């Protein structure tokens, strides 16, 4: 056994002299190794060992020694080599799948009509590819929303103090303190669960065999967002009611974000592969896809809270606006709790999916055991 060090990565390599070839590469860094010079005494030992190997074996083999050799742990260099070999096989498999998917996608595009290809080309422009910029945007929007919850709590406290001074009612101050404490809880929920949802999406990859359904959902959401924005502009101009405009603008913004998310499988950590996903896996994957859109949309929709905070500020100076205040506060609570609700929905989906896989795996093992038992009885 010869030992030498790679001049590129300084990895110590152990190799049998008979395995040395002119085009050797380092198993750790895959760079070519210089031609090795075998000492004369080693060459003599190699010749003697080869001569002994060609002689017929005498007696029985030592099976215990052979088993002990097999049970010996592999060296560090061998483990690195095995890992690189597994990675190369995996990369080759992914490359083959990507080639099949590309060919299938090209065939389907040829079968589509000109209008379908035109619509899909436009939709692809809404797809988010840069994950880092999206995460920055997500953190910025959700951050503005959750800090606006604290602003809304302070405004509610100020409003309660003003009502207590005008009506000589100390109960209003108590309501203001309770509202301020509630906003602290809502801030914590709105701050934690969008981040948790983002981490969960990054941990697990989904695989579906077609992009038609996500793209259809995305097209429908974008169309609905445009319709809501036009309706809000029309009713706002005709009725001159700012809050009516806001009532249509909020779902329009949410629909636009939902459409972009449906059109961005990379943001949702989803791989579209016609060769590696069955119809059943795609069905389960699409459910997870929709839930992931809800998870991210819950963090983005926190941006509606600043508008509601402005409505509360308006209520400080408006007359007979008490009913509107409670409606605005209820809306803030619903939006702030949406990240938690969507995350619980995602956990329920994961429980059902894991339960399905366990049951399916047990049934599959039972079938294999039955087949093995029947084959042994036949023999």
Q: What is the pLDDT of residues 186-196, one digit of tens each?
A: 999 998 898 88
- Nearest alpha carbon to residue 152 among 298, 295, 334, 294: 334
Instruction: Specify the higher pLDDT residue, 191 or 379.
Output: 191
Q: What is the pLDDT of residues 154-185, one digit of tens each?
A: 888 888 888 788 877 778 888 888 888 999 99
User: Is 346 inside any structural domain?
Assistant: yes
| Together in a domain, 114 and 130 | no
Res 84: pLDDT? 58
| Together in a domain, 117 and 139 | no
| Together in a domain, 287 and 358 | yes
The range of the structural domain enclosing residue 102 comes to: 90-122
Q: Is the pLDDT of residue 97 over 50?
A: no
User: Is 259 inside any structural domain?
Assistant: no
User: Is 306 inside any structural domain?
Assistant: yes
| Together in a domain, 336 and 202 | yes
| Together in a domain, 287 and 360 | yes
> DSSP assignment of 72-137, as one string?
SPPPHHHHHHHHHHHHHHHHHHHHHHHHHHHHHHHHHHHHS-HHHHHHHHHHHTT----HHHHHHH
| Together in a domain, 299 and 179 | yes
User: Is 270 inside any structural domain?
Assistant: yes
Count the helices and strands in the chain (H runs, E runs). Answer: 11, 4
pTM of the model: 0.62
How many structural domains are present in the chain? 3
Output the six-digit token pair for 237. 């101009």
Residue that is last in its domain, among 78, 101, 122:
122
User: Is 136 inside any structural domain?
Assistant: yes
| Together in a domain, 284 and 341 | yes
| Together in a domain, 275 and 201 | yes
Query: Quick check: 202 and 132 in contact, CB under 8 A?
Result: no
Res 185: pLDDT? 92
Strand positions, DSSP E, the chain: 2-5, 12-15, 206-208, 270-272
User: Is 238 inside any structural domain?
Assistant: no
Confidence of residue 52 (pLDDT cuts 50, 70, 90): low
| Together in a domain, 163 and 26 | no
Residues 6+ apart with CB under 8 A from 329: 152, 156, 179, 312
């Amino acid at each position: 056994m010869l030992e030498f060090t790679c001049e590129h990565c300084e990895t110590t390599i152990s190799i049998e002299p008979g395995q040395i070839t002119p085009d050797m590469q380092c198993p750790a860094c895959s760079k070519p190794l210089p031609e090795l010079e075998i000492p004369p005494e080693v060459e003599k030992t190699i010749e003697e060992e080869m001569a002994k190997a060609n002689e017929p074996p005498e007696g029985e083999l030592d099976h215990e020694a052979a088993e002990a050799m097999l049970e010996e742990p592999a060296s560090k260099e061998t483990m690195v080599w095995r890992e690189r070999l597994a990675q190369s096989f995996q990369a080759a498999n992914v490359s083959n799948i990507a080639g099949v998917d590309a060919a299938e996608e090209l065939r389907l595009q040829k079968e589509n009509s000109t209008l379908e290809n035109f619509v899909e080309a436009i939709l692809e422009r809404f797809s988010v590819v840069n994950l880092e910029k999206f995460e920055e945007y997500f953190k910025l929007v959700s951050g503005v929303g959750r800090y606006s919850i604290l602003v809304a709590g302070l405004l509610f406290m100020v409003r309660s103090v003003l009502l207590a001074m005008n009506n000589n009612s100390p109960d209003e101050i108590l309501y203001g303190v309770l509202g301020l404490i509630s906003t602290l809880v809502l801030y914590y929920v709105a701050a934690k669960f969008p981040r948790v949802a983002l981490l969960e999406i990054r941990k697990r990859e989904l695989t579906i065999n077609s992009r038609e359904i996500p793209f259809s959902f995305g097209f429908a959401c974008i169309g609905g967002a445009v319709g809501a924005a036009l309706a809000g502009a029309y009713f706002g101009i005709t009725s001159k009611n700012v809050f009516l405009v806001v009532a249509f603008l909020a779902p329009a913004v949410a629909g636009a974000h939902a459409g972009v998310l449906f059109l961005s499988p990379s943001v949702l950590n989803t791989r579209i592969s016609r060769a590696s996903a069955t119809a059943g896996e795609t069905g389960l994957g699409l459910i997870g896809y929709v839930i992931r859109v809800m998870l991210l949309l819950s963090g983005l929709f926190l941006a509606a809270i600043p508008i509601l905070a402005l409505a509360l500020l308006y209520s400080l100076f408006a007359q007979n606006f008490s009913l509107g205040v409670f409606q605005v506060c209820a809306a803030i609570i619903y939006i702030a709790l949406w990240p938690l609700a969507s995350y619980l929905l995602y956990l329920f989906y994961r429980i059902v999916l894991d339960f399905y896989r366990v049951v399916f795996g047990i049934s599959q093992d039972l079938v294999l055991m039955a087949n093995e038992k029947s084959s042994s009885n036949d023999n």
